[in-house]
Structure 1
């Protein structure tokens, strides 16, 4: 008998305790020293219950014997009702010897039991299929059992058949629960934010435990955009050294298996030849031997009609064969992994898109900075020569033209300055270095420079601030630009007789600066685009005012890079409030 135990396998069979009781009944009641019950596992018989001394149990329990050996011997048996008896004298000299052979000497009697005698009862299911075998050996009296003993053994055989059916049903149910748990674990441990290379690491433990595998790897095909792993990753994230031709063979086999919705076992006995050439089969089997794998389960991974990859689970030589239940569960997991891979691919595409957008944003910033810088020098020369011309006595027409050129040049200079600042505050290579900034001091400095412009226009300026200082963590120069832009904007769109109010406050962990005007106001449609570069209001009255369309964009970017927020509240004809929230400085 070929006795094989798979290291790491769980040999406990649901219902084995009942089968053991039946075997023990045979030894006690009928008088046999050894009784055993085996269950069919694919094309082998596995001994799952043994009654007898510890030496016998150790020799038989968990052993596996090819059914072909057993059925060949049973062809020689005498039928005793449900029992089959094979006398030693009927055995040919060249018959393959299987199983455990007791070391006993026959008694001197015509019906003496010989060590090579065999007595068993095949256990059949409801449809007549072979479920297992009840075997007895070494009768206590040394004789072959008579009619009465045969009748009792037949009764035990009937009980053993029922118990075997129950045991197999319980085993199948337990296996389904185990595999279902493994599948749930896979989905739980492989969230969408993982890349496809990380899916294997997240699901490997559940797969190997659920399928009692000693190894696992996964191949994910390249996606339609030419991205993906295109390689094989193992449970520990190391690469399998699979020959390049076999990688292509595996991909071809996975696509065919996904189309046919099947899972294949690959071994010497099962080379899954339907889509493989003889050369393919030979190379695969040789490769399995080189990595000491007895058999592997080849599972296609996919979603909808698309095959996305394949999963391989391995068992060592001599391990328990893959069951039909395991194959069915593996195909379901191939579907689950397909959904995970699709999610992972979507995440990777989004990640690539974000990186591309970041690169584009950096390029745009550098382009803006370069163009603005190149504009500064010629504009400075133009403005300088215009100042010389303005000092000279010229005809009125020429003077008007020079003044128009001067206004245009200075406006271009402001645009260049704003573009340079916009590029700088949007450059991640120049992060903010914050320090405590008293916002009241900033407001005072800005109004000291711009207050006379507002007053000359007939606009009242009001400053409201609390008794305690409002100190934000910020870059002083950038916050000065924020306040300047907000106050300038408020004055630009507020008519004579209006009011601009600057208010400071501390709310929770935020320093708050508000700039409110009683000017034109902003429509809800315009508010949605207000902070975009070069956006100008659709209001004709607002369009009549000069501007670059960059002031509020600069405010928004500066506040955002300080970890703050910019808010706006406005109604047409009633004015606007711009509110800036910045992290407050913690004072000791």
Structure 2
């Protein structure tokens, strides 16, 4: 805003004596000669100053306010003349009217006195409005009646409008007092309207030039940003570790696009939710709060609904559209109550950024699945980003999606390499250990004179052979799963498979009493699988019985149909839950037990540990499902585990 004020002592004489006597023609000619200067001014500040000088030099104006409409369509004082210095500050700060207020006042309290001039008589002024008193020069006479018909009463005002070519008002010369104490005559009003017409054209020209300069500046900035985006692309496309990549991406978002803070959430297939993985610009306590959050798919997808799409990737959900169920997931607030208070805080203006605004860019993989969410926050200018800015971020996010895809491929290749290395260790190192043990037992048996001792060592050797057979069988199955083709899957009854494997596995432990509590929602539950499906449940039942130290082993088995509301169209699944009463699994290992390479590398040599759950996890992945483990008694892992398997219904 231009902070330009003129007091009566600073009055400028820009021409001959005030035109009271000259003819109408000479006044028009003089206005034309002065106004031509206005059209060449390039800066709004210079223009407003010159316009005020021309108006007060040509007409008997004692006090006047120049108003211009801002982007929020409020009429704001831009120039004040004739008022005491102590009043000028208050006028500049407080005498502001919305477009609707101006239209209402015109209809209710003003009289047309020209083509686009309106007179506000003292008799219609609302003196209870502090703004009306602010713009009244002589407050000592506001209660006095009008002395004559042509008097310009202290509460009178004359408003000469600035109009665009479309007819929309963009400002005005608001005359609050005259030097003669009289109303302006028709000739003066016509002259002011002519001056206002030139002013309107000049304002449009200046704003067009300013817009052109902004566009040129924006184009230059855009070209520079695009150049920067492509120059840093190689630095992210070669990053192979997802966490490192996420951190690098956020650093570039801050640097290139002007955000104080930003974060990335990645999809966790084990927990079937999104988790915040990388942050920039947030305090430590905020980051710690975010890391603990588990964002369900349906909550995460609230921010990327079609109605919030503002580009091909960008989604903007304004604070006013925040849903109550989303509040616990706004990690920038330390409580739901704090978020609720923020919801009640109005936006300062339509373009201002609100603390609850959500700007989200989904990261898609090659299958069109949302594997992550990028959330820039707190723009440096505290404004909602414009379309051009969003387009630049979208270009960058497209590159980021490719980088995450590359990192995923690299990770898969690394895991495959690790599995091959581990399987080789098992096949050669562990088989060598088994073979040496067998050789030792056989040599011991040959040296025994007692037939009983001989049989004892031979029996131990046979057990080692069984271990070799089991190890080879599991390795072969893992290899078969890795090379399996989903196109060869067929409809198999899950319920029948579970029942048969429960009976078969219990029979392998004749020394234990094994009982099952079945809660099967349906006798038939078809899924797409192959002939390895029985092995999935065989391994889980084996662990449940093997590690349960109770004499009577009890296992709870349930089967139910569930619907995933977070997918579109909604997907139907069969969920199997197998609860044991074994030693349980600590929270810090609940995910690790399914990560074959980590589990196997921690296993004791010669035991072949970890292969069973590796087979389980690989089969679930092949069938398009999910497996996770929970405590049978929530919060106490020592009371046993619940293995949950969710497979798509066929």
Q: TM-score range by the shorter chain?
A: 0.3 to 0.5
Say which one has the larger Rg. 1
